[in-house]
Each structure stands twice: as structure tokens, then as C-alpha cells.
Structure 1
């Protein structure tokens, strides 16, 4: 009887194994020599997702040791509230920092609850070690990391990862500890950076000027989260600076998230007319109709997605109808409160590119599912 590995070429086996979770790859590698060779080849590990909260404790480090050098893009999922999951994630990151200088992309995703008063120092130190070792790192996504990010981490990325193309620091922390000076050094040290996610307090007029410099590589995406007290106190960024940046990078897309911590006066400082806002997410404790109306008047040419979490009101309905009439390029609109029928009719009539919407006419049990437009 032929060995299983003789039935299929190694490249076909590798294509199959790259879709398996780690423990199944480990099981496949123990079947025979041919399967073992296919299970550890570089094609299997180039783009890898590791879920530390569902793998067997103690299995990851020994099995991965032969494969770390092949990982180029890693998405690492773990639960910071469960010690085995957390320890496995930090050990893997530390081992990765010591073994592979060829890492190109790292995305961390935390599931579950963050323990109270947990600064995440072990995880952040491991990420810092990656930034120190992976000189070819191009993409670092920390949006799903629940710990407060600081200047030291940003400066480590600036000094250790000159090839960075994208960096997301706009996570859900309630404290903004990344100062504008660190971001400015990051932009100067990483001239190819074209995608950046920040809390508003981390962005400065000087950073906009650096991005608008004549020799700057094309800048594509700026994601701004406004959710912590530091964001509410951030000085306004001049509309003229946004206008200059927009002329320098006509393809620039800006995404803005406004959370309940933002008072009305801060919202008006953030939403400048010249900002090319493509995605606007509003979850405000106060007025939402005003920002929606502002978006209708100033972002008609750029707005592609809107999300509103607010109490139902006639004012909000009117603002949504105005937005539908003035923003024909909208592809998504999601409003998590009951709206009147004329709101739904307005979006269907005036937005031919609409692909998904959440517009409920009657109260339903959550979670509300979006409707796809065929």
C-alpha cells in the first residue's frame, strides 16, 4: 500500500495543510515522512493564523520551532484573561523575535475580557522585541490589543522597522499615551508608511505637514479614533492643513470614530470640512444629528460608509435623509436605532452603490443583522 504522501504532490499537500489549524498540521506531520515535509514547507507557513486559546497547552513552541523562519505574515489570537493562552502568545512572539528577521506582517487579536488593572507589560514587551528584531516588518496591527500603548513602543517601531507600510495604534484603550512627538519621529523614520491608525491626541499639525512634504511617498489611509479624555483635549488641526494634505495626496482616505467621551464642542473641532472622510462612525452620548448633517454638507464626494449608534429622533431622521440625497457614493449605512420609513426609501432611491444597510423600521431584538443589497 502506498504511503499517503505518495498519493498527492507535496505542493498539493502544502496547499491543503495551510488551511488546517495547528494541531491538525501537527497530526498530519506525524503520518509519514512525505506529509511531514509538506507540513513544514514554507508555503504552509507564509500566511499563518495561530489561535492560542484553542490550541493544546504546550504544543505550540516545540512544533513551531522548525517553522518560525518561514512565517511572513502572522495573525495571533489569544485570550489575555486566560493564563495558558496568554503565556503561549508571549512565548511565541518572543521565540519569533529570536528566530526570524523575515517577518513582514503581525496582527494581534485579543478575545475575551481584559483583566482589571492589567497593563499588558508581558505582551507589549514581546511586541517590542519583534520590532527590535524584524527589520523587514511592514505591517503591524494592534487595534485589537486592549492594553495602553505608549511612546516607547512607537519609538521602538520607528527605530527598528524602517520598512513599515502600515501601523494601527487606534485600539480601544481609555487612555491615550502615545504623544505627537513619537508619531512625528515615526513618520520621519519610516518614509514608506502609507497607512496609519491613531488616537486623535497622537496626531499634530506638524505630522500633517510631514505627510504633505513634496518627497513623501503617497499616503493612502489615516484612521482616527476619538475615545479617550486626551482626545477631547487635543488642539484642533487647522482646516487649511487638511486641505494641503488632501491636495498632496488626492487618493487619501480618512476614517473617523467618535465615541461617547467626545463632547459636542470637540466633535466640531474634529470634523473639519477639508478632511476627506470616507468612513464615519458615531457613538456619541449627545447630538448625532448635527455630525450627520455636517457629513452630508461637506463629505458628499468622499463618504462611503456611515455607522450611527444613537437614540431615535426626528432630527436624526431628517439628517439621514439629507445625507442620502447628497452622498450618492455611499456603500454602507448602519443606524442602530429605529428610523422612519422615509429614511430607508431615501437611501434606496439616492444611493445606487449601496451594498449593505441596517435601517430598522420597528424595534427588534439585538443583534441587528445588516441587509445586503443584491
Structure 2
């Protein structure tokens, strides 16, 4: 918590106030001399008079500290269940700060319970706003002997800010108070307020923490130890101690270490990163700088990652080398040395001003001098200093004689070991391959010839230019061409074959299956299918051969246990669905270990009726599903309401759903309000012929959905001609409708009248196709005037009277 951890708990957290003794509250211009508690009373009182449950009865005592549980929540709530939950939360807050008894060694459970209720309640944002108001209320202590509890409340405020963003209605009030305390409060209190303000801004930008605090973290927090030390390794065997707290991110650690290197430019700091690995030889891709460091440490404590350590290293080498201090030189030297010894930085002969053997001998001598040793190197040390590809070209005696000669010259000049490292880096930075990242690629099984055979029609210089394209450029080229051309490109040269086998080339695939398609797709999927993250399969299966190919492709996707598939789209026409459904069940029921499972499934453009068991298998084995689209303008895929209910209860992260109205009911609508599920954001419903006892959700359920899910948007589609009374029965007053699309051959005047009456405050898009009677035209004009948020209107009226 910034400087808050350095202050002792024995210090007085707040000073006495002359205004407090006189019984009056300081005005804003007196804040420099007043008590911070009085500032909070005034700031919180202004908020309470607008937002509290009974604003007409709000007094100064309503926003002051109390050691007794509340009789009713501070704020009004849309859901009655939140009232009891808010009272329980306040009892947990009192337990955390010590006003209510707490069982022995149960502080961790109390903290986790409070964070869990705030994040997984029926209306998390409303409950979080209630908790923040309760915390600010408890900050208004009036006696100096409660400094210990006062400090705990500040600690708890910081903890909440690290996990949940302060709701918008309270943000301005929170910022105003924190800025005032940070500016005019005592030294210790100013540090706490400043840390809280910084954490509020950090959570607003990158979000809160994702893991609950560990038991050790909670116990240290309650003892006033808000900071801890962690060790970050640097190539070369050096470890750096970094002080972190609950809100520290990897970006903060990188910024701290860059300052120690003498790097202050933001563009240069972007060249550094942190990763986890067992040693410096196995450094992987850098971790996301927005990760919270204590969340990362908890992940590293799992059994499969116990051997990993944090490593700080340079990712890119775009800026010129700067030798600011010894730490900076050591980091760059040991990273470049590894690349050089493995032969990844060797010069080509046509670019070398001196022979490769002379250059390698000089750098071997510099490496030996960089160790600080004055004794001559032995044969084994010389061999370890020469690149592996260059060592067999000459005898051991030759290398030993050359290295010793250069080493004698270095010792005569009095070069220090630090200067030797700098000189080594200067030479290496002139190599053509310096600053590139080379990855090892397994042999594809194609035997290569020892010499490249030039052809009469090919210009060798022009061919070199094409074979040296950067990897990202190759991936972009591969993404712009169809698959047959990709396969032909991979046969051009070794460099392009490596680009074809790159994971980035296969992440997002568009697979077009035609009757004349070959089985090449199946062969490629066996080798590279586990790289695919997004697959869009388009087909026209009017022939049996094409149908079998589609089924085989889906089958190959589910055979890899290390599959990364997250998004699947099927589009096309298929006559025989038996094998395809069987393979889809296998795909949905696979248990990949590389990721959590499918997150998006789109079947909106496929013609063919699927069994409900296919989607039941999808929901059972893919609880991480966030987007399920199984309805479009062609009424094909229909789920029974009870099966859709089972899917919703299995996939609690579902945010976007497109279904036919046949699948909806009041019970399905109430399932969206269940606890411990992500809020639904977009619901697309397609209606055709009316069905008894299904397809219509009552207005009471829509009202609960609108109140509990303020971000919910409903899109209604009527793609076929259905009775007007059925459309009117579907349109409920409290539906959060933002888009309506209607096709009908009947008079739609009553429908448009109801739309303008119910949805004038939320409707954004309207598309109507039907007869243009005088009543319809009149209602359409009135609707456009009444719906202020309407951005897109499409009318296609037939038979308009003159």
C-alpha cells in the first residue's frame, strides 16, 4: 500500500480537531486545519442525501462510525435478497475490524467470504456500492484510541479497491475524499490515501485481482505488514529484491527494475519483460504486464509450477545499447552470450570484415576476460567459448593459440572485466542477426540437400530477399490466401515451410469444403490441428464425398488432447447429419488440457436439424461457453425449453445467446437470474409460428431481468408471417428491446403503436417489411418522433396509397 506499510501502528492515524471539539463541521476552505474524519462526514453526507435509502432522514450520525450491526441497508436495492446480504456484509466488516468477535484463526475465511459475496451476489455492482458506503461510514471514528481499527478499515478499503472497481455513482465522492486526505492529512494517513487513490485508478484501467488473497497475505495485512519482498532473477545469476504489495502489477515490477538499469524512457522500458522459467536457458514468452504479482505468485505455488522462478530480461533490441551501470551491462551481456554460443548470431562470410575464426577468437578472449580471471583458459573453456557451428572447422590447437594471443593483448591494455563485456556487446551488436528472435523448429522429415542448386531463370539475390521475409509478414501473407495456395507456398523454400508450420498461421482458420476438395485438409489437421483456436468451416454437402470430408475434419479437431480450439462456426448445407452429429459430440465431449474449452459456438448459418443431445454435450463439457448462436432466419435448430434450461445451468459464463422463441419460457428467463453466473448481455430471439405454453416470457420475469441485468439487450426477429395477436403477446412493457425486425403481410399498425409505447426509451434499430396502409404510415412517423435513441430505420412498405 505504498508508504502506508512503513508507518507504525502506534502512531496517531488522525489528529484532534478544533472544530470537532466545538461541535461544528469545517467548511471546505478550512480543510487544511480540520480533521480528516470531518472532511469525510461532509463529503459522505452530500452523497447520502442523494442516494441513501431515506434521504430525507439523513443526518451526520447516519454517515458516522458505529460498532453495532445495521438494522437496514444504507442504500435501496432492486432485489429484496440484497437487503439481507448487505446486512450480512456489514457484520463481516465489523468482524474484520474487530468490533465483533471472530473465531480463532478465521480471519482468512472472513476476508474470502466478504470478497466472494461482493463478486458473486445476485447484483454485484449494487452490493459493491453498499460495501464501499459502509467502509466510508466506518472511517469516521471520533476517538483517538481506535487508531488500530481505523488502520484496519483503511486496509480493507485498499483490499476492496484491489478487487472491485468503485461504482460510478460513488467514484467522484471517493476521489474527492482520497485527494483531500492525501494533500492535507498527516504523513502516515496521506500515504494510505495516496495508495488507495492509485489503486482505484489502476483497477479502473486494468481491472481487479482474480485470485483471493492467500492466508499469509491476509495475516500480514492484519498485522500492518502491507508490503513484502520478492526476488526476480536476471540472466547471469543475479537476483534483485523488489518490494510489492496487494496492488502491485508486473508492469510496476518491470518499471522498478528498469529504473535500476538506468532506463527511464517509456519506449525503452517496453523492450523489457518478466516471465517464469526454471532457468535462464528456458525463458519463454513474456507475461502480461497487467497481471497482479501476488496472483502470479499464487499460480506459481501450484504443484506443476513449483520449480519455476521469475526472470527479468530484455525482449526487443530496437534501441541502441546503453551501458548505464554494471547491472545493465550484465543483463545484456549474458543474454547475448547465450545466443552467440549457440551460433545464432554468426556473420555471413560476405559481410565479415575479418575472417570468422579471427572474430570468434577475439570474442572468446573477451568472454574469458569478462569472467575476471587472469589465468589462461584451458581447452575445455576455449571450446565452450566458440560457437558450436564454427568449432569443428579448425583444430583445437589452432583455437587455443588464437584465443591466447588475443587474451595477451587484452591484459596488456589493462582492460577490466566490465569493459570486456561492453566490448563484446559492441561487436555482437554489429552482427546482421542481432536483435532477432530465433525459434527451434522440428525437422519436418524432408531430407535437405547439402548445396542449393541454382536455376537458370532464378536470380539468386532476388530469391534471398523473399526467403528472408520476417515471420510476421509470412503469417500475414498466409492469412490472405486460400488453403491450396498456402500448401503450395510451403513448398517454395525452407523459410516459407517454417512459416507454414508456425502456430500463428493456424490460429484462425477459414476452411472451405467443396465437392472437388481433396483430403489434404485431413492430412494437415493431423499435424497442425492442435494450433487452431478459431475454426470457421464452410461447406455445401450435396454429395456424399463432401459430407464425409466435413465429418472427418470435425473428427480430427477432437482427436488432439492438446487442442486449443475456442471458437467454432459451421455454415452451409448438409444432407446427411448422422456422422457430423456424432463427431460434433466427440468434439464437444473432448477434454483438452491446454485451455478451458470452447467459448463461442455459431450454428446460425447451417441448414439442418441437430439433435438436442449435441448441445447438451456441448454444455456438459464446456462450462466456459460465453457465446451460443443456434438460430437465424431459417427455422431449423430448435431446443426444448427444459434442454435450454440445462444448458444455462451448466454454462454460467454465457453472455450472448441466439435461440428460437420456441425454447423460451418463464423458467428459462428466471435461470438468467440465478446466483454465481455471469450477467447475460445480448439475447437474440427469433419467432415463427406460435407454440402452446412456450415462446413467451411474462412481464414480471422481464422486469426482474431488466432490474438485475442493466446491460441486457434484447433483439427480436419475426422473419416469417405470424398472427398479429401473437406478436402483441410477445411484446412486454419491461423487455429491454433495442432492435426489432418484422416481416409480415398483415396490417402492422397495432404492432408499431405498441412498439412506440413500450420501447421509445430504448429502441435503437427497427426494420419493418409489410403492407403500407395509411395507419401504418401514420404510426411509423409517430414512432420516429417518439424514439429518441433510434439510429437505424428500414421501411419496406408495399401498396402505399397515393
Instruction: State whether TM-score is above 0.5.
Output: yes
**Residue 51 of structure 1: SS of its match in structure 2?**
strand
Query: Among residues 500, 515, 530, which one is paired with 1:39 in the alignment?
Result: 500
Q: Please state how far the C-alpha of 1:41 moved relative to its aligned partner.
A: 1.0
Query: Among residues 700, 722, 737, which one is paired with 1:262 in the alignment?
Result: 722
- Counterparts in 2 of 1:334-349, with a 5 A limit? 334-337=794-797
Q: Tell me, yes or no, if the aligned pair for 1:5 and 1:32 is still in contact at 8 Å.
A: no
Paired with 1:228 and 1:66, the residues of 2 have a C-alpha distance of 47
Q: Tell me, yes or no, if the aligned pair for 2:532 and 2:563 is still in contact at 8 Å.
A: no
Q: Tell me, yes or no, if the aligned pair for 1:5 and 1:35 is still in contact at 8 Å.
A: no
Q: Does 1:109 align with 2:571?
A: yes
Q: Tell me, yes or no, if the aligned pair for 1:146 and 1:172 is still in contact at 8 Å.
A: no
* Aligned equivalent of 2:525: 64
Q: Does 1:223 align with 2:680?
A: no
Q: Does 1:274 align with 2:734?
A: yes
Paired with 1:64 and 1:245, the residues of 2 have a C-alpha distance of 44
* Aligned equivalent of 2:410: none
Structure 2 vs 1, CA of residues 107 and 82 (structure 1 numbering), >3 Å: closer, same or farther?
A: same
Answer with 216-225 or 167-176: which moved more: 167-176
Q: Tell me, yes or no, if the aligned pair for 1:227 and 1:258 is still in contact at 8 Å.
A: yes
CA offsets per residue over residues 31-64 of structure 1, 9 Å max, x none?
1111011022111121111111387332321233
Q: Does 1:140 align with 2:601?
A: yes
Q: Tell me, yes or no, if the aligned pair for 1:176 and 1:228 is still in contact at 8 Å.
A: no
- TM-score normalized with structure 2 length: 0.40
Q: Does 1:126 align with 2:583?
A: yes
- Counterparts in 2 of 1:142-157, with a 5 A limit? 142-157=603-618
Which is richer in strand?
A: 1
In structure 1, list runs of 5 or more residues that go unmatched.
341-360, 363-374
Q: Tell me, yes or no, if the aligned pair for 1:317 and 1:339 is still in contact at 8 Å.
A: no
Q: Does 1:20 align with 2:481?
A: yes
* Aligned equivalent of 1:368: none
* Aligned equivalent of 1:354: none
**Residue 273 of structure 1: SS of its match in structure 2?**
coil
Q: Does 1:180 align with 2:637?
A: no
Q: Please state how far the C-alpha of 1:4 moved relative to its aligned partner.
A: 5.8
Paired with 1:244 and 1:307, the residues of 2 have a C-alpha distance of 27
Q: Please state how far the C-alpha of 1:123 moved relative to its aligned partner.
A: 2.7
Q: Tell me, yes or no, if the aligned pair for 2:769 and 2:797 is still in contact at 8 Å.
A: yes
Q: Does 1:247 align with 2:704?
A: no
* Aligned equivalent of 2:337: none
Q: Please state how far the C-alpha of 1:310 moved relative to its aligned partner.
A: 1.1
Query: Among residues 535, 539, 556, which one is paired with 1:78 in the alignment?
Result: 539
Query: Among residues 140, 161, 182, which one is paired with 2:622 in the alignment?
Result: 161
Q: Tell me, yes or no, if the aligned pair for 1:15 and 1:43 is still in contact at 8 Å.
A: no
CA offsets per residue over residues 116-146 of structure 1, 9 Å max, x none?
xx46333333322221126510000111111
* Aligned equivalent of 1:94: 555
Aligned-pair Cα RMSD in Å: 2.4
* Aligned equivalent of 2:765: 305
**Residue 336 of structure 1: SS of its match in structure 2?**
strand
**Residue 67 of structure 1: SS of its match in structure 2?**
helix
Bigger CA radius of gyration: 2
* Aligned equivalent of 2:788: 328
* Aligned equivalent of 1:195: 656
Higher relative CO (CA 8 A, sep ≥ 6), structure 1 or 2?
1
**Residue 309 of structure 1: SS of its match in structure 2?**
strand
Paired with 2:720 and 2:542, the residues of 1 have a C-alpha distance of 26
Q: Tell me, yes or no, if the aligned pair for 2:733 and 2:758 is still in contact at 8 Å.
A: yes
Q: Please state how far the C-alpha of 1:166 moved relative to its aligned partner.
A: 0.7
Q: Please state how far the C-alpha of 1:21 moved relative to its aligned partner.
A: 1.0
**Residue 245 of structure 1: SS of its match in structure 2?**
helix
Q: Please state how far the C-alpha of 1:3 moved relative to its aligned partner.
A: 4.2
Paired with 2:505 and 2:465, the residues of 1 have a C-alpha distance of 18
Structure 2 vs 1, CA of residues 285 and 194 (structure 1 numbering), >3 Å: closer, same or farther?
A: same
Paired with 2:485 and 2:689, the residues of 1 have a C-alpha distance of 42
* Aligned equivalent of 2:468: 7
CA offsets per residue over residues 151-197 of structure 1, 9 Å max, x none?
21221111111110010121455466411111111111111111111
Q: Please state how far the C-alpha of 1:228 moved relative to its aligned partner.
A: 4.4
CA offsets per residue over residues 203-245 of structure 1, 9 Å max, x none?
1211211212343312101110112454x66263110100100
Which is richer in helix?
A: 2
**Residue 107 of structure 1: SS of its match in structure 2?**
strand
Answer with 200-209 or 240-249: which moved more: 200-209
Q: Tell me, yes or no, if the aligned pair for 1:52 and 1:86 is still in contact at 8 Å.
A: no
Q: Please state how far the C-alpha of 1:312 moved relative to its aligned partner.
A: 2.3
Q: Please state how far the C-alpha of 1:14 moved relative to its aligned partner.
A: 1.1
Paired with 1:129 and 1:332, the residues of 2 have a C-alpha distance of 42
In structure 2, list runs of 5 or more residues that go unmatched.
1-459
Paired with 1:27 and 1:229, the residues of 2 have a C-alpha distance of 53
Paired with 2:746 and 2:580, the residues of 1 have a C-alpha distance of 36
- TM-score normalized with structure 1 length: 0.83
Q: Tell me, yes or no, if the aligned pair for 2:467 and 2:493 is still in contact at 8 Å.
A: no
CA offsets per residue over residues 295-348 of structure 1, 9 Å max, x none?
1111122212111121222222112112211122222222223597xxxxxxxx
Q: Tell me, yes or no, if the aligned pair for 1:26 and 1:63 is still in contact at 8 Å.
A: no
Paired with 1:337 and 1:34, the residues of 2 have a C-alpha distance of 59
Paired with 1:91 and 1:228, the residues of 2 have a C-alpha distance of 36
**Residue 551 of structure 2: SS of its match in structure 1?**
helix
